[in-house]
Amino acid sequence: MTDLIFHLLEVSFWSGIAAVGFGILFNVPRKTIFTIFALGFLAGLIKFSILQFEHHIALASLAAASFVGWVSIPIAHKIHHPPVVFSIPTMIPMIPGYFAYETILSIMNFVFIETDPEKRLLLIDAMFSHGFKMIYVLIGLTFGVALPLLVMNKGSIKQLGGAPS
Amino acid sequence: MSDSEKFTKTADLLLEIGSLLMISGANTSRINRSIDRFSSALNFSVHSWIHQKTIIMTLTDNDTKMSATKVYNLPPHAINFKTISEISKASWKAIREGWTIDQIATEIERIKSLDRYSNLVVLIAVSFAVAGFCKIFNGDYLNMTVAFISAFMGLFVSQQIHKKHYNIYIRIFLASLTASLVASVGIIYNIGTNPQTALATSILFLIPGVPLINSFTDLLENNILNGLARFAVGAMIVLAIATGLFLAMYIFSINLS
């Protein structure tokens, strides 16, 4: 049990680092870097904990992204930056990049390399499962982070509570 | 200022704001909202068609009801969240404090001159991010070192090619090829417990996260054309990444799965 918790914390810590790395690539304002790390860490913790209970990765991503969406509201009012600036870098470690290129790799193996019919069937299976997993995870992420605005029926987080900044 | 001068100046400014937001990686509804805020501060109403490479905009003066239409071609995209944040803040200030067109133009000039992180800082930060990815996919610390070095080399190649203004997909293909060739060395010498993980994660820094997230955000908000265009850009980038990785695996006869 302690091992498991330690492992979750370690993996979440590195998710936070990954989020910050992408934040710097996207040239985020310096003031938001700590926020991005903290959100990346917490989102990672939620995602990996849910995966630990063997739920689907799209569900785990939805949960983590909607967490980011909800806490973005008070944070955006507090640090005076629009939520995309810290919510998108936070979600980058959760982007299904692995599924994305694995889909293409399966297609390329299918077209250029594999001749054995049995293995070609496995490759078709891989194309579909990886490809659609990628799409569902992306839907989970974008829907999750947009959830507060959709529920409150508003276009901008600035219109949601808090003193005007 | 004559009417036509006023129209030209306002249209150019609003088009520049829209263009800055688009190339910096804002989603379509955010661009529309920002333009609306600035235009309402200037007492204009604006309708626009925003796309990856073009913005078409019709401005109507709220007092005289005269209108003008302009088309604007966008420069290449370069994600920059500082620009998005600063323009968003400026748009609220412009409404609240009733900024004039000159005040807005000065602010936009200031935003355009804001600095980016240096290439070295970006190299190190992104390489750490890739090492983090390697950890997430069950790599040990040796694998993470391999992933770090591969990403560093890959991004370095990408930055150098970027300076020469090559086609974006060629740049991403070459970056992916470099990173996966370096990571393949880890598989050949069997470095760490999971050398395949280092190869599979070494290219994740190229993943088109912003186009893909914005794509689905746009689709969700019914900006279907922009959503599809962004998804196509994302798919092209993934294709370039996978081609680089495939070539490296082919050269070293590696089978990932």
Q: How far apart are CA B47 and CA B58, in angstroms?
A: 5
The vertex-B18 CA angle with A161 and B105, nearest 5°, equals 90
Q: Which of B136, B210, B220 is nearest residue A14 as measured by Cβ atoms? A: B136
CB atoms within 10 A of CB B2: 7
Enumerate the residues of chain A whose CB falls inside 8 A of the CB of residue B201: 98
Distance set, CA B224 to CA A136, B52, B162, B216, B248 (Å): 18, 13, 30, 9, 36
A51 assigned to some structural domain: yes
**Residue ranges making up the domain that contains A53:** 2-159
For chain A, the domain total comes to 1
Residue A87 has pLDDT above 60, yes or no: yes
- Residue pair B172/B241 in contact (Cβ under 8 Å)? The answer is yes
Q: Is residue A148 in a domain?
A: yes
Residue A165 reports pLDDT greater than 50:
no
Our CA dihedral for B246, B247, B249, B253, rounded to 10 degrees, sits at 130
Give bridge partners of residue B58 from the DSSP assignment: B47, B69
Cβ atoms within 10 Å, residue B189 = 10
Kindly state whether residue A165 falls inside one of the protein's structural domains: no
Sort out which chain A residues have CB atoms less than 8 A from B96's CB and list them.
164
Is A136 part of a structural domain of the chain?
Answer: yes
Calpha distance B240→B173 (Å, rounded): 5
pLDDT digits (tens, 9 = 90+) for B68-95: 899 999 999 899 999 999 999 999 999 8
Q: Is A153 domain-assigned?
A: yes
Strand, coil or helix: B50:
strand
pLDDT tens, position by position, B194-241? 888 889 899 999 999 899 999 999 999 899 999 999 999 999 999 999
Q: Say if the Cβ atoms of B121 and A92 lie within 8 Å.
A: no
**Residues 141 through 160 of chain A touching chain B, CB cutoff 8 Å:** 141-143, 146, 155-156, 158
> How do residues A108-127 score in pLDDT, each as one tens digit?
999 988 889 999 999 999 99
pTM here is 0.91
Cβ–Cβ contact A110 with B under 8 A? no
Contacts for A122-129 with beta carbons within 8 Å, 24 or more apart?
A126/A102, A126/B257, A127/A103
The answer to ipTM > 0.95 is no
